[in-house]
Amino acid sequence: MGKYADDEQWSDVVPLPTDEGGDNPLAAIAYSEEYEETMSYLRAIMAANEYSPRVLDLTEDLIDMNPAHYTVWLYRAQCLFAIDSDLKEELEWLNETALTHQKNYQIWHHRNLIVDKLDQCEGETAFVESMFERDAKNYHVWSYRQWLVRRFGLWDKGELEFTEQMLQRDVRNNSAWNHRWFVVNGQEGAAGVGDPDIRAREMKFAMLAIAKAPQNQSPWNYLRGITKKSGMSLAHLKDFAEQYASLDQPDNIHSSFALDLLADILVEEKNTKQAAQALDLLEKTYDPIRKNYWAYRKEQLGLPAAVA
Amino acid sequence: MAAAKEDGNDTLDELLKDKARIEELSSDEEEVFKRGNNDAANVGGGVPFPGMDQLKPKRKLEYLPPWLHDASINLFHDDLETPTSEAQQKTRAECLPLLTGEDTQGLELNIYGLPHLRRQKHTDFLRTTFNKLPAPYQVVDASRPWLFYWTVGGLSFLGEDVTQYRERLIETVRPLQNPTGGFGGGHGQYSHCACTYATVLALAAVGGLEVVDRKAMWHWLGTVKQADGGFRMAVGAEEDIRGAYCAMTVITLLNLPFELPAEAPARKAGLDTFTDRLGEWVGRCQTYEGGIAGAPNNEAHGAYAFCALACLSILDVPHKSIPKYLDVQALASCLASLQTMPEGGFAGRTNKLVDACYSHWVGGCWALLQAALSGGSSGRNSVKLDDLWSREGLVRYLLCCCQQPGKKGGMRDKPSTRPDGYHTCYSLAGLSAAQNHYSYSKEGQAVDKQSGRLIAAFHWTAERPTVGEMKALKFDEEDRVGFVHPVFVLPMDVIEATRRQFAESRL
């Protein structure tokens, strides 16, 4: 009849078929026989709260058919822990599965549970890096990496260099920038960019990245983040911003982000008139899709309408 | 660097010429707003712009908006190519001909030359979701509640009557509800915040919420509330900001007590209510970029910005709760930067691609954010004064690039992708955000004195655009999407009916 119905090993289980709720359910899925059967055994097993090696086989089957099935993943994790299963073996299986189902919340949460329980992360950073070769901006993978760093204290174990490598490949990869921010500033009690040496190093890093491609928002945001977190005056960035956007050369602007920064620097200098000029350039010429936003910023300056 | 500057000088003359034209166009557009009811034939005709000679004669676009002007498109070009810039070039190339009207994909155009909203086609497309789905759909077996919500949500935004699905939906979701409270993705699946949110919204839309076991729901929600203030998506699952928004939505709509059940684990950490430490936890999700991450330390992402703003708008009136926990100016800057040029839609993250679903996730943030910024003053003086974003850009992107042409209908991420329920629902919600006005009433209170219910989110009003605004944004009445509640993403009247339904309910 089916894989499970025909199996001696499962003969003690009475499967629970899907309750569709009625004769005419909405968006009902015409499950394959295999899926329907496996699910009905899972329901029976879960109803009995069974944790056993065969549950691992059953959940593996279901995950193959539907990797987004969060219940199966959660139940599998409970089962693994309950029967004290070999978690390294689980990780090996996960490595294969992850390659086929990368964009999936569940698989990364599962990995997180397993590695946490294992209490060691050997090989994990390398595995994560292999994932980035397929998709260098995968949100779940980056979140997992951040968890790894925090959980195992990997702050100064090559993590900064790793972000450099990722940014070497694509200086516009904002996920890598975010990770770098986390590595520098995320540790509890760490001064991060509050420390003058670290701040100088990070500012230099961002500025070099900007020199490579001035119209790249990521390092500009990073630079802004540094000034904000460290409470430093924006004035230190004026010369730098003016290399890419100077009001003396309004027709020779190399980055809208430089112009935006310059506007804030001028506001800090209380030079609202020039700040308005910078915002005007953004509104009228260099960033027309955000016309309303720049107009709003100009309004915030509190200048009489005629000047703005 | 020096070389780059020289290149800049070479193109200076051309740039200046183009700039003058852009300014001309801009002032003309302002005129459109002011003139309001004037005949469309008077608008923008004969304004010169490069590329006019390439137009097909049947095209009715009088002019292109400034950001689609050649000069704007080619303003900045960094020589360094990376995977990000290559992907952006590709997207730009597939969108530009559709945005400029060079390729209309055979769609029927409105009087401004933009494609009409394919109301009937999108309706038909959404309705097919409710048919029996073939076996490959078993990969969404754990997210069927989303199909219910996207379908009835999308249909109701199009003005369709969805109450015809009431009985069938009630029947369908009954096996998804667990006796211990909440809804799972299917029969025998654990209760999950996203599945519960989607089911509750879908039931609200069809008027079927009586099937929800409110008391069990309250107990279950108590099991996912965390000591740090956030919510897990399910018991043992990940903690992220979706959980916070979904849980608070359900608590408010169903008028559940906001005290935690006695057995809730978070009580052991000293928490008494679902809202304890929640605002602080949401605040921890704001990143150095100003945007909001799914959880503390992760990357800022547009969808999570909506979850954060909507969650805070449930906690208290938006101009109090949002500035209390978030740096509003930094968030505004971050969200504004997500509107992509030249496409006009929104991306989800810095340096990522435009995608129609962010029309809601980011486009839907503006009503909430602007309510926070306006500090409680109600209403709008004029669209131009208050808006921080380009409604026109979003309307154009959605109508030109995201409608599937041909027989099928439905809406899509971008032209090279296929339509689906998710993108159709959130494109329509985003279109509603761009076309209509939502404002927060001055009289808004956080808590109902008598019932103790969190009522801050029930004080929104919607207003249709003026004829002049419709002209400026280039859509006809038949292209207009109905009102969508800015916090709960359902029609306004559905939310009001739900508020009343449970106004007197106790557990």
For residue range A267-298, list pLDDT tens digits in order.
Answer: 999 999 999 999 999 999 999 999 999 999 99
> Pick from B137, B169, B342: which is nearest to A26 by CB?
B169
- % of chain B exceeding 70 in pLDDT: 86
Interval B319-339 mean pLDDT: 97
User: Which tokens is A171 given?
Assistant: 């200086």
**CA nearest to A29 within chain B:** B133
pLDDT at residue B35 above 50? no
User: How close is the nearest chain A Cα to the Cα of B135, in Å?
Assistant: 5
**pLDDT per residue as tens digits for the range A144-168:** 999 999 999 999 999 999 999 999 9
pLDDT at residue B14 above 60? no
pLDDT confidence band for A105 (50 / 70 / 90): confident
The catalytic residue among B225, B413, B485, B499 is B413
The verdict on a CB contact (< 8 Å) between B83 and A150 is no
User: Which tokens is B411 given?
Assistant: 């809406």
User: Looking at domain B119-501, does it have CATH number 1.10.8.350?
Assistant: no
Q: Residue B45 burial by CB count (10 A; 0-12/13-18/19+): exposed, middle or buried?
A: exposed
Interval B464-471 mean pLDDT: 96
Distance CA B480, CA B206 (A): 22
Q: What is the pLDDT of residue A305?
A: 59
Higher-confidence position of B77 and B153: B153
For residue A46, which residues of chain B lie inside 8 Å, CB to CB? 188
What is the residue whose two structure tokens read 């100009």? A298
User: Which tokens is B44 given?
Assistant: 């923008």
Q: What is the pLDDT of residue B451?
A: 83
Q: What is the pLDDT of residue A115?
A: 98
**CA nearest to A137 within chain B:** B352
For residue B133, which residues of chain A lie inside 8 Å, CB to CB? 27-30
Q: What is the pLDDT of residue A116?
A: 98
Are the CB atoms for A126 and A90 separated by under 8 Å? no
For residue A113, which residues of chain B lie inside 8 Å, CB to CB? 236
For residue A74, which residues of chain B lie inside 8 Å, CB to CB? 190, 234-237
pLDDT at residue B175 above 80? yes
Interval B486-496 mean pLDDT: 98
User: How close is the nearest chain B Cα to the Cα of A225, in Å?
Assistant: 5
Interval B369-393 mean pLDDT: 72
In chain A, domain spans: 233-308
Are the CB atoms for B200 and B254 separated by under 8 Å? yes
Return phi, psi of residue B115, to 5°: -60, 140
A271 interface with B at CB cutoff 8 Å: no
The verdict on a CB contact (< 8 Å) between A284 and B298 is no
Following CA atoms A165, A166, A168, A170 in sequence, which dihedral angle do they give, to the nearest 10 degrees? Answer: 170
pLDDT at residue B19 above 50? no
* DSSP-derived secondary structure letter, B458: G
**CA nearest to A63 within chain B:** B139
Question: Which has the closest alpha carbon to B252: B204, B207, B292?
Answer: B204
Are the CB atoms for A262 and A247 separated by under 8 Å? yes
Question: Which has the closest alpha carbon to B396: A289, A298, A217?
Answer: A289
What's the whole-number average pLDDT of chain A? 95
Please give the C-alpha separations between residue B283 and each of A163, A178, B290, B293, B304, in angstroms, as whole numbers: 26, 17, 11, 10, 12
**pLDDT per residue as tens digits for the range A202-251:** 999 999 999 999 999 999 999 999 999 999 999 999 999 999 999 999 99
pLDDT at residue B15 above 80? no
In chain B, domain spans: 2-80, 119-501
Amino acid in the structure at residue B9: N
Please give the distance of CA B340 from its chain centroid, rounded to a whole number: 15
A168 interface with B at CB cutoff 8 Å: no
Q: What is the pLDDT of residue B43?
A: 29
Active site residues of A: 103
Distance CA B92, CA B86 (A): 10
Q: What is the pLDDT of residue B155?
A: 98
**pLDDT per residue as tens digits for the range B122-138:** 999 999 999 999 999 99
Task: Let me know how long chain B is.
Answer: 507
Q: What is the pLDDT of residue A288?
A: 96
User: Mutating which of B88, B150, B337 best tests the A interface, going by the most A Cβ atoms within 10 A?
Assistant: B337
pLDDT confidence band for A39 (50 / 70 / 90): very high
> Pick from A150, A173, A215: which is nearest to B76 by CB?
A215
Show which of residues 32-51 on chain A sit within 8 Å of chain B, judged by CB atoms. Answer: 32, 35, 39, 42-43, 46-47
Interval B392-421 mean pLDDT: 97
- DSSP letter for each residue of A157-202: TTHHHHHHHHHHH-TT-HHHHHHHHHHHH-STT--GGGSHHHHHHH
H-helix segments, chain A: 33-47, 53-65, 70-82, 87-100, 105-118, 124-132, 139-152, 159-169, 174-185, 196-212, 217-230, 238-244, 256-268, 272-281, 291-300
pLDDT at residue B390 above 70? yes
Q: What is the pLDDT of residue B376?
A: 54
Q: What is the pLDDT of residue B55?
A: 43
pLDDT confidence band for B449 (50 / 70 / 90): confident
Identify the weakest region by mean pLDDT among B42-56, B327-341, B390-404. B42-56
pLDDT at residue B207 above 90? yes
What's the whole-number average pLDDT of chain B? 87
Identify the weakest region by mean pLDDT among B42-51, B138-147, B200-209, B412-421. B42-51
Identify the weakest region by mean pLDDT among A71-80, B7-16, B255-264, B303-312. B7-16
pLDDT at residue B45 above 60? no
For residue B129, which residues of chain A lie inside 8 Å, CB to CB? 27
Q: What is the pLDDT of residue A12?
A: 97
Please give the distance of CA B125 from its chain centroid, rounded to a whole number: 20
